[in-house]
Structure 1
Amino acid sequence: MALPYIARRYLHPLPNFGENLPKEEIEKAFRHAENADLCLVLGSSLTVTPAADVPLRVARRNQKLVIGNLQRTPLYSMATVNIHAFSDTIMQGLMERLGIPIPSWIVRRRVRITRESTSDNKNYEILIEGRDPDNTNIPFTLFKSIQVDSEGKTIKQMNCEPFIFEISKKNAEPINIQFHFFGHYNEIPFNLNFTNINDVPQEDEFYLFYNPMIGQWRKTKNPDDFPL
């Protein structure tokens, strides 16, 4: 039976301009502002409300306000300290002063592979999907393209979703599936190798962790098995 592919509408998880912030989160921020003795603002123009009103409330309580931004902000004169530098530079200096090491940042990806017989029972149909690393029920646009090689040649080059390919059940040759990513973090391709078509699992999920500092992927079933 061939695998169904359901068209989905993907929603961006971040609020855009003109969209409201989540009510619970913004109310919590204002509660913290009423009790904070220090507010650190990084990389914000402080021109969009109601978020910009959170540090304003701290300043009006005569508590310390530290703003890190390349340009002046409307709260420049109310700030205890203004630091004109990149946020990364500020945080590196702060963490060094606090004696807290900064761990390597890791790209987290989750992949699902499913194998089913086609209606004529002659081939296998393989579906490859990206899933949200924290919620497997949420689809995740992950791959720029996928290339499938077998029998010494490329048998499928897919450049858009859905990433589905068929391969004969009689194929006894090794299969290499190469994932190509969008390159936002200079990710190198990842190769998934199978001894033959029957080695491809009927259903499997795994994690891919990428360390951009050393250009290396790690495949694991454990969501907490971060590379060093």
Structure 2
Amino acid sequence: MASTIRSEEDTKEFFDSPEELETKVSQLADWVRQSKHFIVFTGAGISTSAGIPDFRSGINTKLETGPGAWELQAAGIEWDVRKHKTTSVAKAIPTPTHMSFVQLMEKGILHAVVSQNCDGLHRRSGLPTSRLYELHGNSNVEKCNICEREYLRDFRTSTGMGGMFGHKTGRMCDDLACRGDLEDTIINFGESLPVVTIKDSFDHSKKADLCLAMGSSLTVTPAALIPQNVGKKNLLVIVNLQRTPIDHLAALRINGKCDDVMKLLMSKLGLDIPEFRLKRRIVMTAGKKGDKYEVCVEGRDQEDHPFSFLKSVTFSGADPDIRCDQEPYTVLTRAGAALQVNIAFHSHYGEPPLMLKFDITEDGSVTVDLQYNPFTGMWAVSRSDEVKGEVKDVAEKLASAKIQ
């Protein structure tokens, strides 16, 4: 599929006039207001404005990210990074389209996002995992091949070991009773989609009275059957620059860039598009171990799932001082110790390190919620103490750190 040269007509891009766009999005806004079960289906086109190239854009595309990967491959053309505006997936910032979905879901308007994308931007944007269905996996998630426990990482989990269909990452499950091999979650052509994810996605398509399909060629099955099923019985709206094979099922076909459409839609709905913030949660626990305390620092996401986003943790004031460069980040210390915990991140967005202070008084834990503004380079910090212990001077300046 990737090596097939498509015709000029297949790759032609269409753009509605401003007047057409206004009329079409007004109709879409009316349908969104009336909808009882609104779902979104997304493809690579929603991430091009973040600097991530798609797969099928033609050689003469107007997108700043340039031709799609498969079009270049089919034409035998090598990628020239100097000609196009791109970034790595790790450094990509969720787009206004991604953030619009977060707001729509928080307002109870949007019920599910089904995505073909594996760039992780939906999850990074703040969409709850309970209503996000990543059909083709997530480049930041790996899974135990025995107990099926998932691990979210702040780095690409795929290593390419064993070729395209070799998914082992070289890491092992943290559960000492399991220790199964961890595998990346990317679904390649010819591989089966995750059973539960695809079932739940189809269940939503059966309930949906409105499906908004954005930035997808709608050619890859079985994923494309989800919007297709909605279009056969209810309202399907397709937003894409190129034609798709199920345009005839669409109640409305919008020819425009995803961000332009979503900005206009949110305006008509009277909703703001929230600015992206990188959300991090740090949990510090202290537990009695003999005559000392074992202190552990771990990362979690906003839904309290384990999340490997810490690069290193240095404990000062312990017995002795220690730097941990890999999980688990733990240290033994005496009761009454005033720990200074220096935390370094992978810093894909330039996040500066933080210093936390933790008084060890008895068993307990402290949760520190962080939000980083990549546009200003500043942290915002809040905390909650379940019990005991105290975080003092949370997030003091360390090196060039700026705290707001």
Residue of structure 2 aligned with 1:48, choices 220, 224, 229: 220
Counting helix residues as a fraction of each chain, which structure ranks higher?
2
CA shift at 1:117, angstroms?
Answer: 4.7
Residue correspondence of structure 1 range 25-36 to structure 2 within 5 A: 25-32=201-208, 36=209
Supply the distance in 1 between the matched residues of 2:363 and 2:259 (Cα, whole angstroms).
44
CA shift at 1:98, angstroms?
Answer: 2.4
Supply the distance in 2 between the matched residues of 1:50 and 1:163 (Cα, whole angstroms).
42
Residue of structure 1 aligned with 2:365, choices 184, 204, 212: 204
What letter is aligned with 2:199? Answer: K
CA shift at 1:188, angstroms?
Answer: 2.9
- The answer as to 2:166 corresponding to 1:166 is no
What letter is aligned with 1:134? Answer: E
CA shift at 1:41, angstroms?
Answer: 1.0
- The answer as to 2:286 corresponding to 1:115 is yes
Distance 1:68 1:183, change over 3 A: farther
Residue correspondence of structure 1 range 130-145 to structure 2 within 5 A: 130-135=299-304, 138-145=305-312
Supply the distance in 2 between the matched residues of 1:56 and 1:181 (Cα, whole angstroms).
42
Residue 225 of structure 1 corresponds to none
Helix, strand or coil: the match of 1:73? coil
Q: Deviations along 1:10-41, whole A, 9 cap, x unmatched? A: 98997845223342442231232xxx3x5321
Supply the distance in 2 between the matched residues of 1:118 and 1:112 (Cα, whole angstroms).
19
Give me the identity figure in percent: 29
What letter is aligned with 1:127? Answer: C
CA shift at 1:114, angstroms?
Answer: 2.3
Residue correspondence of structure 1 range 1-228 to structure 2 within 5 A: 6-7=175-176, 16-17=187-188, 18-19=192-193, 20=195, 21-32=197-208, 36=209, 38-61=210-233, 65-69=236-240, 71-76=242-247, 79=250, 80-85=252-257, 87-119=258-290, 121=291, 123-135=292-304, 138-150=305-317, 155-167=321-333, 174-194=338-358, 198=360, 202-212=363-373, 213-214=375-376, 215-221=378-384
| TM-score between the two structures when normalised by the length of structure 2 | 0.41
Q: Deviations along 1:97-134, whole A, 9 cap, x unmatched? A: 32211233343333332224554x3x543211223532
Q: Deviations along 1:169-221, whole A, 9 cap, x unmatched? A: 586xx532122223344433232124xx535x632131413142442131222
* Higher RCO structure, 1 or 2 (CA under 8 Å, sep 6+): 1
What letter is aligned with 1:198? Answer: I
What letter is aligned with 2:284? Answer: I
Supply the distance in 1 between the matched residues of 2:220 and 2:357 (Cα, whole angstroms).
49
Distance 1:43 1:23, change over 3 A: same
Distance 1:112 1:12, change over 3 A: farther
Distance 1:92 1:180, change over 3 A: farther
Instruction: Tell me if structure 2 keeps the 8 A contact 1:112–1:203.
Output: no
CA shift at 1:162, angstroms?
Answer: 0.9
Distance 1:9 1:99, change over 3 A: farther
Distance 1:130 1:182, change over 3 A: same
Instruction: Tell me if structure 2 keeps the 8 A contact 1:107–1:210.
Output: yes
Helix, strand or coil: the match of 1:30? helix
Q: What RMSD, in angstroms, separates the aligned Cα atoms of the two structures?
A: 3.7
Instruction: Tell me if structure 2 keeps the 8 A contact 1:118–1:125.
Output: yes
- The structure having more radius of gyration, on CA atoms, is 1
Helix, strand or coil: the match of 1:210? strand
What letter is aligned with 2:255? Answer: I
Instruction: Tell me if structure 1 keeps the 8 A contact 2:205–2:227.
Output: no
Structure 1 gaps of 5+ residues are 223-227
